[in-house]
Amino acid sequence: MAADKTTTKDRWADRNLLLERHEAKYLIPRALVPRIREFIRPFCIPDPYTRGDPPEYVITTLQLDSPDLVLHHMKEWEALNRFKLRVRTYGTDGRAPVFLEVKRKVKGVIIKSRVAIPASEWGESLVRDPRISLRIRREKEVHGLLEFVRLCREINAQPVVWLRYTRESYMGMIDHYARVTLDRNLLYQPAKDWDSWGRGGKWRCMDSTLSQNKQYGFSGVVLELKTLTDAPQWMVDLTKELGLVRTGNCKYSTAVWTESIFRGTPAMPAYASEVFRT
């Protein structure tokens, strides 16, 4: 039998083309992070795309939405079936491959599709032009690209906000799919273009007590536990031993709300679209 020449990165990339998974989010104090690292050590290894100790990378994301921010408001109203459109790259210079993602939430289950394209191919024309000339090798990615473009056109998607944060990432050693991520240094800025990746703009803090939730009384780290089906026992034990309380934390909606505070319009009606447009 021929040897399996695929690498851990290859297998991890294949899994992420289309995922149906469960996510649990927790806002935790920074002082708790070392205990989490120690707890998951017997069960996890660093994400193969990370570097350093702790294993981490920087994520930069462009969030797209309709002119009246319908995707944000669907989250605000906790719609059972909703989705997000985002364009993600890794690092800060915009030269790494770009990932076009549709992230749906259907009755509590996360369904995410993504397609990777060269950074040079990304821009408004990919969404607006009637013909798509990109060459995509994998059938799943072709479907992902067409779905992303279709949804963008249906809602007349526009750039709304850039997000940037540092992600510490681990994957389960024995589980079919299990991930633990810790996001910190959360930043945002209003987006005026499609492909600058925030260069030249002013990044604003998004992990302050005000932005995250003043009821917690601390500036926290966003912990996410992700699985395909039932959580493995070690994840259950982690939440019980550390007394973790699950909470929602949408970075995109947090950025929209935080910007409205800075602009003095926190009580503006949900249908208003001027938060980022003036």
Nearest to 118 by CA among 98, 144, 148, 138: 98
E strand or H helix that includes residue 268: none
At 194 the pLDDT is: 96
How many helical (H) and strand (E) elements, i.e. helices and strands, does the chain have?
8, 10
* pLDDT tens-digit series, residues 193-217: 999 999 989 999 988 655 545 445 5
Distance CA 91, CA 60 (A): 7
Confidence of residue 9 (pLDDT cuts 50, 70, 90): low
Q: What is the mean pLDDT of residues 245-268?
A: 80
- b/e map of 58-93 (b: 16 or more CB within 10 Å)? ebbbbbbbbebbbbbbbbeeeeeebbbbbbbbeeee
Distance CA 94, CA 97 (A): 8
At 236, which amino acid appears?
V
> Is the model's pLDDT at 19 over the cut of 80?
no
* pLDDT tens-digit series, residues 211-243: 545 445 556 899 999 998 788 999 999 999 999
Asked if the 19-262 domain carries CATH number 3.90.110.10, the reply is: no
β-strand partners of 88: 61, 99
At 172 the pLDDT is: 95
At 208 the pLDDT is: 65
* pLDDT tens-digit series, residues 155-202: 999 999 999 999 999 999 988 889 999 999 999 999 999 999 999 899
Distance CA 252, CA 62 (A): 9
Distance CA 210, CA 220 (A): 11
Kindly report which listed range (50-54, 135-139, 250-254) carries the lowest average pLDDT score. Answer: 135-139
At 269 the pLDDT is: 39
Tell me if 210 sits within 8 A of 191, measured CB to CB: no
**What value does the mean pLDDT of the chain take?**
84
* pLDDT tens-digit series, residues 42-67: 999 999 999 999 999 999 999 999 99
Confidence (pTM): 0.85
> Is the model's pLDDT at 68 over the cut of 80?
yes
